[in-house]
């Protein structure tokens, strides 16, 4: 079921923050329902992925303890769970909003192809992972009162690709001496290539988010240009992430980093708090905005 991976479905709430719907009870409830549907759908595809990877997982130092790899759950039960969880996820998605159900269906199909074929194609495997995050965000935009903008799609893509490259880097380091026996695609990557990808994507996130905060779209949407004050948190968070996975040799899992690294935790909390206070007009009277007399 991979309950420890359900936090990734939290991306579905991101559109609510920037749409100004974070305190709308009906929208929040719908988003929670969609979150549950995505949790079930992701559990379904995780089980299917474990089915296709069972022989490789048996040789992995950590994955060998998974239910399928360790023999605690039979193949028949796993297949049954894949089908049942997928159906329930689609039904819940339909109850929430029919477009959400279509997104979930596409998410499941994408991950089935990923598990069978696409995960073995270098670079494309990371794009498939990133697309999964974009689909979560798209589902969130269908629930919110604002349609998806090109800004949120680009930023989500860049962030998801960064996390995917970081995950591949972590896998490559952990399985350095037995890469080929675990996952074929890992042998096609190098630390140098992945490090370059991470730097490029981090720069892309910083530039895109910075341009977004000063764009006419954001200023008119939030009736303020103060969102630019949140950029330093984004820069610091990305620098801290790169530092942790490179110099500290830490995990590439963002959730584990946020919970285990105090500086990263404080940075994320401050960024979220700043976004909420600015977007929802809490600091409109504190910070000067829209001043025509600027240097």
Task: Answer whether 0.75 is exceeded by the pTM.
Answer: yes
CATH number of the 1-147 domain? 1.10.357.140
Q: How confident is the model at residue 295 (pLDDT cuts 50, 70, 90)?
A: very low
| Burial class, 58, CB count within 10 angstroms (exposed 0-12 / middle 13-18 / buried 19+) | middle
Domain definitions of the chain by residue range: 1-147, 149-286
- Over residues 197-208, the mean pLDDT reads 95
Summarised one tens digit per residue, pLDDT across range 34-48 is 999 999 999 999 888
- Is the separation of the CB atoms in 176 and 189 below 8 Å? no
Predicted pLDDT of residue 119: 86
Summarised one tens digit per residue, pLDDT across range 55-107 is 665 565 566 566 665 666 777 888 888 899 999 999 999 887 888 999 999 99
Predicted pLDDT of residue 8: 87
Q: What percent of the chain has pLDDT above 70?
A: 84
CB within 8 A of 72, min separation 6: which ones? Answer: none
Predicted pLDDT of residue 250: 60
Summarised one tens digit per residue, pLDDT across range 115-163 is 888 888 999 999 999 999 999 999 999 888 777 788 888 999 999 999 8
In the block, residue with structure tokens 């997104």: 103
């Amino acid at each position: 079921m991979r309950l420890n991976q359900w936090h990734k479905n939290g991306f579905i709430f991101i559109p609510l923050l920037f749409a100004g719907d974070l305190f709308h009870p009906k929208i929040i409830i719908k988003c929670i329902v969609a979150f549950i549907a995505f949790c079930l759908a992701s559990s379904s595809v995780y089980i299917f992925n474990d089915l296709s990877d069972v022989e490789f997982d048996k040789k992995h130092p950590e994955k060998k303890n998974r239910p399928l790899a360790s023999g605690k759950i039979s193949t028949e039960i796993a297949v049954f769970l894949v089908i049942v969880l997928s159906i329930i996820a689609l039904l819940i998605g339909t109850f929430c909003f029919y477009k959400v159900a279509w997104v979930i269906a596409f998410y499941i199909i994408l991950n089935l192809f990923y598990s069978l074929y696409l995960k073995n194609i270098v670079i494309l495997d990371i794009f498939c992972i990133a697309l999964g995050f974009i689909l979560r965000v798209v589902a969130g935009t269908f629930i919110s009162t604002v349609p998806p903008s090109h800004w949120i799609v680009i930023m989500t893509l860049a962030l998801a690709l960064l996390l995917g490259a970081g995950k591949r880097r972590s896998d490559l380091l952990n399985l350095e001496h037995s890469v080929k026996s675990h996952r074929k695609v890992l042998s096609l990557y190098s630390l140098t290539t992945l490090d370059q990808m991470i730097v490029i994507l981090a720069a892309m996130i910083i530039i895109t988010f910075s341009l977004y905060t000063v764009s006419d779209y954001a200023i008119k949407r939030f009736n303020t240009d103060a969102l630019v004050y949140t950029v330093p948190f984004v820069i610091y968070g990305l620098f801290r992430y790169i530092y942790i996975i490179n110099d500290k040799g830490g995990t590439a899992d963002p959730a584990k980093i946020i919970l285990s690294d105090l500086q990263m935790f404080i940075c994320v909390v401050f960024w979220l708090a700043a976004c909420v206070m600015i977007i929802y007009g809490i600091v409109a009277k504190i910070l000067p905005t829209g001043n025509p007399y600027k240097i």
